Amino acid sequence: MNFELHNQRILVTGATSGIGLDIARSLAELGAELVLFGRNRDQLAKLEKELGARTLAVDITDEAAVVVAFAEMPVLDGLVNCAGISILDDVLDFKAKDIENIMNTNVTASAVVAREAARHMIAHGRQGSIVNVSSQASMAALPGHLGYCASKAAMDAMTRVLCLELGSKGIRVNSVNPTVTLTPMAERAWADPAKRNPMLAAIPLGRFATPREVALPVAFLLSPAASMISGACLPVDGGFTSH
């Protein structure tokens, strides 16, 4: 079984922070050549030096900018759709504009990037892999997460449709669905025991995920070891969605 990614060039969106940053670092450790999309130019410059990556400051919600970025894209073997946002509010208080923004980034923009990546792979004769970073929120109702849950459920549906339509081209499409993942932002957000402890109690393993515990399943799905896996939505949630 080959879990390494040598000689594979992989695009990672949302690579300048959070889970996307750890995914980029893990893929680099496994030998991948990286192209990184993000909006933080300073962080992109640091990652260019740290990982030897090609970096592009791209707002993926700007369809025209994404198309332009792909016009000069080196040949790709994989895509990790990791860019995303979350705006939390109770169902009696949410604003339609907030849900629109969540769906625009997490679904529409991710679909556009996947479309362009698939076109690019096909044009260059590549049989590649796309991994969408979804969430346990696609599989279970979470209070305050109406827009986010809806967007990640839509991403999983998108994963299945992409799998169906791109399979004949040799392109595999899967998603990973993590639980709370302890990025620096999440550590702050879940610091309050009153919020943290009920969620931990619902996870059979009794703990949250580390970013690397999400990054390595992504790497597996990109790798030749997962060559017959497509259309899967893989929980990386310590068992949260098992009950």
User: Could you tell me what percentage of the chain is helix, strand and coil, using 3-state DSSP and rounding each to the nearest 5?
Assistant: 50, 15, 35
Looking at every residue in the chain, the average pLDDT score rounds to: 96
The percentage of residues in the chain with a pLDDT greater than 70, rounded to a whole number, is: 99
Amino acid symbol at 161: V
pLDDT at position 66: 98
Instruction: Considering the candidates 97, 148, 169, 195, report the single residue annotated as catalytic.
Output: 148
- DSSP for 153-209? HHHHHHHHHHHHHHGGGT-EEEEEEE--B--HHHHHHT-SHHHHHHHHHTSTT-SPB
For residues 211 and 19, the answer to whether their CB atoms sit within 8 Å is yes
Rounded Cα distance between 123 and 69, Å, is 16
- DSSP for 198-241? HHHHTSTT-SPBPHHHHHHHHHHHHSGGGTT--S-EEEESTTGG
Which of 112, 84, 130 minimizes the C-alpha distance to 231?
130
Q: Is 7 in a helix, a strand, or coil?
A: coil
Instruction: Indicate the pTM of the whole model.
Output: 0.97
Active site residue 95: no
Rounded Cα distance between 12 and 24, Å, is 7
pLDDT at position 15: 96
Q: Please say if the pLDDT value at position 140 is more than 70.
A: yes
Four-residue CA torsion sign, 14, 239, 78, 2: positive
Active site residue 195: no
User: What structural domains and CATH numbers belong to the chain?
Assistant: 9-181+214-229 (3.40.50.720)
209-222 residue pLDDT tens:
999 999 999 999 99
Other CB atoms within 10 Å distance of the CB of residue 20: 27
Instruction: Considering the candidates 46, 95, 97, 152, report the single residue annotated as catalytic.
Output: 152
* Helix H or strand E segment including 19: helix 18-29
179-204 residue pLDDT tens:
999 999 899 999 999 999 999 999 99
The percentage of residues in the chain with a pLDDT greater than 90, rounded to a whole number, is: 97
DSSP state of 138: G
Beta bridge partners of 123: none
Which of 70, 114, 43, 72 minimizes the C-alpha distance to 15?
43
Q: In what order do the strands lie in the sheet with 33-38?
A: 54-57, 33-38, 9-12, 78-81, 129-133, 172-178, 233-236
